[in-house]
Amino acid sequence: MTKTDYFKTKYEILIQLNYRLNAVVSCNHSLD
């Protein structure tokens, strides 16, 4: 695994986590 592959994977994981966080926040707001 090269360094770029490593950072690319980390970046993609971060995006997925961020997307999930936003989804959870949106759900919480719609419940209000």
| Per-residue pLDDT reduced to its tens digit, 1-32 | 799 999 999 999 999 999 999 998 888 777 65
d(CA 5, CA 21): 24
pLDDT of residue 25: 86
pTM above 0.75, yes or no: no
Q: DSSP 3-state assignment of 30? A: helix
DSSP string, 3-26: HHHHHHHHHHHHHHHHHHHHHHHH
pLDDT of residue 20: 94
